[in-house]
Amino acid sequence: MHLIKRTALVCVLLGLGFLALGNTSAGKYDYMKRFTKVFDLVRDEYVRDIPNEDLMDGAVKGMLQSLDPHSAFLSKNEFKEMRETTTGEFFGVGIELSTENNQLIVVSPIEDTPAFKAGVKSGDLILAVDGQPTQDMSSQEAVSKIRGPKGSEVELLILHKDSKKPQEIKIIRDAIPLISVKSRFLDEDGFLWVRLTRFSERTTEELLEGIKNMSKKAPIKGIVLDLRNNPGGLLNQAVSVSDVFLKRDSIVSIRGRGGKVAQNFEAKANATDVVCPMVVLINSGTASASEIVAGALQDQSRAVVLGERSFGKGSVQNVIPLEDGSAVKLTIALYYTPKGRSIQAEGIEPDIVVPFEVPSEDAAKLPRFNSPREKDLSRHIENGSKGKIDKDKADSEKGTVVANKNATDKNATDKNAPEPKLVEEETQTYLTKDNQLRMGLQMVRGLPKITEIRAK
């Protein structure tokens, strides 16, 4: 029965491909004859006996993996694990994975997880899991192998971008926190740092709760919204988070085959809307849903976007459950910002470019490298924009600024200033070591003045 269902699925998917190519009905059957012939050869002649269901699973996996880095076939367990990632507690190390040239690449470690604490970085290649090579292993298969019981150990063979020698890292699995929002004051004047680590089912609810709780301590004069190393998550949460800060107009549109707009998400005026000045922090680990938020706030001139170009994962995956409990994750469309920019393989270019500077005392331990982005992944979907935008011209038109680190360091801390009442000691440490965060605070302090100047 399973074989019949899977054969029907393959026939449907192959048939869609043939229609797209404009093949005749006879041509479709020719392709199916070839598939059936190969299937029979493997079943009858292969050196080992392989169950029909496993052969069909392999055929479906191969077909979907050949499309792009994000389409995939999910077994029953893989589909269950994917749902747990956004809805319930699960155990693992806390990394978001993709594929590049048939190798596993870390899009971003999730903050405060075992992988994050072990030093796994965006752009790292995972060459093996518990001694098993990951070459040609799908990201979903790798996730299944990396996950495991709480307290158990997994060994990852990792190659850093600028390293010639792989490094074995042993990580103890733990519960992966689904709390996705952290809030703390950056100074005594009421400027708030809101860190979004992912977009799960309660992200918007956590965001509103955090802002409400912090506003009881002091009036909020501005927000630094930190989306760095946020690998994304649920589309509806990206839309609702954007809606918290926008009163009207478009947030994001989805365009399918042929560029046709399939859906457009609009902001609505809400009693919970937050209207204070904002700066958004992004980097190469900012992907998918977090790019939607950054793009919407940037295009609507709601916030200044600061940091480094984002990852560029602007494609929409629809997860289609199958009757046997497995599922197909299929790329069906691309995201577009309110001004019609495609995020795919381009990412979000910040208004103010501020490369992250490793503190001098940590420079030897944390080598600087350029993390790969969506455009660097094999089989990535092209942006679709006509012509290549000249970067220098685009930068000059947007008024892109490369920040001077020394200028920000000078104003970072004042030893003679009174001890802040709202600021935790840990936050001061973050500000000392994080030049992007310092610049974000400096910018958000000046935004009301900038607005007043522009109004005149």
**Which residue numbers are catalytic?**
288, 299, 313
Please tell me the distance from the alpha carbon of residue 197 to that of residue 231, in angstroms, as a whole number. Answer: 8
Please tell me the distance from the alpha carbon of residue 235 to that of residue 290, in angstroms, as a whole number. Answer: 9
Residue pair 374/344 in contact by the 8 Å Cβ criterion:
yes
Q: Write the DSSP assignment of 135-186 as a string of letters.
A: TT--HHHHHHHH--STT-EEEEEEE-TT-SS-EEEEEE-EEPP---EEEEES
| Both structure tokens of 408 | 């920000």
Work out the end-to-end distance of the chain between its first and last CA atoms, rounded to an integer number of angstroms.
73
Kindly give, in sequence order, each residue whose CB lies less than 8 Å from that of residue 91, ignoring residues fewer than 6 positions away: 147, 148, 149, 150, 173, 174, 175, 176
How wide is the angle at C-alpha 109 spanned by C-alphas 208 and 159, nearest 5°? 165
Backbone angles phi, psi at 367, to 5 degrees: -65, 140
Element (H, E) at 191: strand 191-196
Residue pair 90/108 in contact by the 8 Å Cβ criterion:
no
Query: Which residue's structure tokens are 């900038």?
Result: 450
Position 110, amino acid: I
For the beta carbon of residue 204, count every other beta carbon within 10 angstroms.
23
Kindly give, in sequence order, each residue whose CB lies less than 8 Å from that of residue 412, ignoring residues fewer than 6 positions away: 431, 432, 438
Report the residue count for the chain.
456
